[in-house]
Structure 1
């Protein structure tokens, strides 16, 4: 006969909550493309583009339980290296509606601003590529965005802003 010690049965380790995420919808909320080069009538083939990509994120709870809207905003600017003149400007706001379950409340904010944009990114990359190609330029395949680093930068920026706004004692 096996001993069980003090009569307590061995307990199974508690399982972490099962995280479920479903993309319910994706959409372009706003988009603008300006081909500045064509508007100026420039046909110089010696243009050397310098591309800058700015990314910002926003998330909000929807009225339906466990549903969230996440918006990724991309601003892609191309300037000529030689003189700094604008070549094109692309602004894109791309959104997704997600049903997220099983994420602890304290981890929900980073989850929405890291994992959800990560799911949307391949579609954003495709749109940017298609729009730049259709605008008369070589297709622009933007580099993968490190949403974790972007989230950490935003937290650090907010902490600095809060520290600067708090008067010294």
Structure 2
């Protein structure tokens, strides 16, 4: 089935040099997503299955983006979950969940926001499912992580950077972290 004229379903499918400006339109999206690394530790099994106290669950995450081509970036959600109680650790799940993101003709500030807020928001539900399944497969009740407001966190970090730069009186670039 042929693609309708003017609709880009894949960043690589945009015709080159179209006179209607199709190749100059901004485009951003997830090309593919995948588990890059997954580690599950269950250090006190089978004894930990007998423990009755509620575990303390610690969630840590980090977002990274790296250019892998002129219009393609790898966005990585690095999530570490550790559950423990007074007797010791129950499980540790360490996940690197990635997406290849295509960005074309998008201003640098908006591209940065998409890489560090928009794309993670799109990837997170799938990473959350991988973590839930990993915890369940380790023999515990599935862990359903609460949604994360990546846009809100991005804005907080941007405001914090600007406040730090405020002492010097120059605005901070969200892209480089340096001054404009």
If the length of structure 2 is used for normalisation, what is the TM-score? 0.69
In 1: Cα distance, 2:156 partner to 2:80 partner: 18
Q: Does 1:36 align with 2:36?
A: no
In the TM superposition, what is the alpha-carbon distance from 1:18 to its structure 2 partner?
A: 5.5
In the TM superposition, what is the alpha-carbon distance from 1:90 to its structure 2 partner?
A: 0.5
Number of positions where the alignment pairs a residue of Structure 1 with one of Structure 2 = 144
| Corresponding residue of 1:58 | 64
Q: What is the CA deviation profile of residues 8-66 of structure 1, one whole-angstrom value per residue up to 9, with x for unaligned ones?
A: xxxxxxxxx95432321211111111112306x34434131111111100011222x32
Evaluate the alpha carbon distance shift between residue 152 and residue 79 of structure 1 in structure 2; reply closer, same or farther with a 3 A threshold: farther
Q: Pick the aligned partner of 2:91 from 88, 93, 118.
A: 88
Q: Pick the aligned partner of 1:149 from 136, 147, 152.
A: 152
In the TM superposition, what is the alpha-carbon distance from 1:141 to its structure 2 partner?
A: 0.8
Q: Which runs of 5+ in 1 are unaligned?
A: 1-16, 164-169
Task: Specify the SS of the correspondent of 1:37.
Answer: coil
In 1: Cα distance, 2:120 partner to 2:33 partner: 11
In 2: Cα distance, 1:33 partner to 1:77 partner: 10
| Corresponding residue of 1:46 | 52
Q: What is the CA deviation profile of residues 135-158 of structure 1, one whole-angstrom value per residue up to 9, with x for unaligned ones?
A: 000011111111123324544666
Task: Specify the SS of the correspondent of 2:78.
Answer: strand
Q: Which runs of 5+ in 2 are unaligned?
A: 1-23, 167-180
If the length of structure 1 is used for normalisation, what is the TM-score? 0.73
Evaluate the alpha carbon distance shift between residue 47 and residue 36 of structure 1 in structure 2; reply closer, same or farther with a 3 A threshold: farther
Q: Pick the aligned partner of 2:82 from 77, 80, 86.
A: 77
Task: Specify the SS of the correspondent of 1:58.
Answer: strand
Q: Does 1:125 align with 2:128?
A: yes
In 1: Cα distance, 2:145 partner to 2:130 partner: 10
